[in-house]
Amino acid sequence: MTIKELFLQHTKFAKVLLCLTLVFIMSIVVGFSGNNKTIYIVADGQTKTIRTSDDNPQNIIKQAGVKFAASDKYTISTQNITTGTTITIHRNVPVKVQVDNNTKVIETNAADVKALVKKLGYNPLDYDTEPGVHAELRPNMLIKLEPLIAKITFRNMQEPFGTVYREDDSLEKGKTKVVQQGQEGTARLMVKEYYKGGTKVDEEILQKSVTAQPVPEVVAKGTYQEYQADSGYIPPYEYAMDVEATAYLPSDGSGSGYTATGMRAGRGVVAVDPNVIPYGTRLYIPGYGEAVAADTGGFSGRRIDLCMESYSEAIGWGRRDVRIYILK
């Protein structure tokens, strides 16, 4: 091997090595940047934005250069740290709390009045607060807690009844009939009422017991439909054929709801003997309308079976001799 060949081979190897190194570096850079998340940190009335791959809120706060004392606490806007998450820092602030005309100054990092009341060991439901329980705490805010007088009472209430619909093939389609009147039930409630200055300001239901179950209203929905004679118009056809016509439902046969040709069974589908009427033939059947030969039955010869939508329709058709028309 000549010196020139050795040089060319070495150069080629160096280029390959350089490409592999660049690919490796790019994969690290892309992977690192792909894991970065945009996080918002709210503290001291200001919002700071940081991009990080860290999932620990305290680490993120530290990375952002935001002061976080041991007495501070934070809340996050999402269950897990992800792009768009807001971390809110709550610092200790001095507030005045007045209970039973006694006022004391405390420092707290509670986010709002409700959280403060809970921290003090009070049930927010047992006190009326000024300002309201959802007010955010501010330095030197005065929070007044006035005890509410609670009273347990019992009361009865009506339980509404529902309505159940049932198909009825003895009732004309489109009509309804109430076959059972609905009746309301009753329930017994245990209620805790809260009073302030003799006026009821709130209540909560402690217990509910149904003493009489409601009786549902039952309504029959008619499905019966008599066959109506058609207008007598016959579309252009190639020839006519006299056949015996019966009726069936999509659930008959295998019960799959599909025809022998793979078409969904339904009105407008006719079962035939394909040796007499080929599949795909368009037909006109007086009293039924236009249809397509797309199914077969357990019969042969000049017979057809018309697919109906309901049992009442099938019974209404019955078995009859009819002249059908093979359309152009």
Strands 102-108 and 127-130, by their bridges, are: unpaired
Encode pLDDT of 140-154 as tens digits. Answer: 989 998 888 889 999
b/e burial code for range 203-219 (CB count within 10 A of at least 16 → b)? eeeeeeeeeeebeebeb
Residue 268 C-beta-side C-alpha neighbours within 13 Å: 3
289: left (phi over 0), alpha (psi -120 to 50) or beta: left
Please tell me the distance from the alpha carbon of residue 227 to that of residue 130, in angstroms, as a whole number. 74
Q: How many CB atoms lie within 10 A of CB 114?
A: 15
What is the average per-residue pLDDT within 30-53? 78
pLDDT of residue 213: 95
> Residue 95: exposed, middle, or buried by beta-carbon count in 10 A (0-12, 13-18, 19+)?
buried
Cα 34 to the center of its chain, rounded Å: 32
Q: Which two tokens stand for residue 131?
A: 């300002």
Report the mean per-residue pLDDT for the chain.
84
| Long-range contact pairs involving 191-194 (C-beta distance under 8 Å, separation at least 24) | 191/152, 191/153, 191/154, 191/155, 192/150, 192/151, 192/152, 193/150, 193/151, 193/152, 193/153, 194/125, 194/126, 194/148, 194/149, 194/150
User: Could you tell me if 62 and 73 are in contact, meaning their C-beta atoms sit under 8 angstroms apart?
Assistant: no
pLDDT of residue 6: 44
Answer with the residue of higher pLDDT: 1 or 120. 120
pLDDT of residue 186: 96
Whether the per-residue pLDDT at 228 is higher than 60: the answer is no
pTM given for the model: 0.36
User: Could you tell me if 306 and 285 are in contact, meaning their C-beta atoms sit under 8 angstroms apart?
Assistant: yes
Cα 91 to the center of its chain, rounded Å: 40
The span from the first CA to the last CA of the chain, in angstroms, equals: 85
Q: Which two tokens stand for residue 60?
A: 């993120």
What is the average per-residue pLDDT within 120-143? 86
DSSP 245-305: EEEE-TTSTTSSSB-TTSPBP-TTEEE--TTTS-TT-EEEETTTEEEEEEE--S--SSEEE
DSSP 147-191: EPEEEEEEEEEEEPP-EEEEEEEEEETT-EEEEE--B-EEEEEEE
Question: In the structure, what pLDDT confidence band is assigned to residue 80 with cuts at 50, 70 and 90?
Answer: confident
Encode pLDDT of 234-286 as tens digits. Answer: 888 999 999 999 999 988 877 778 888 889 888 999 999 999 999 999 999 99
Whether the per-residue pLDDT at 8 is higher than 70: the answer is no
User: Could you tell me if 183 and 161 are in contact, meaning their C-beta atoms sit under 8 angstroms apart?
Assistant: yes
Question: In the structure, what pLDDT confidence band is assigned to residue 231 with cuts at 50, 70 and 90?
Answer: low
Cα 257 to the center of its chain, rounded Å: 29
Whether the per-residue pLDDT at 9 is higher than 70: the answer is no
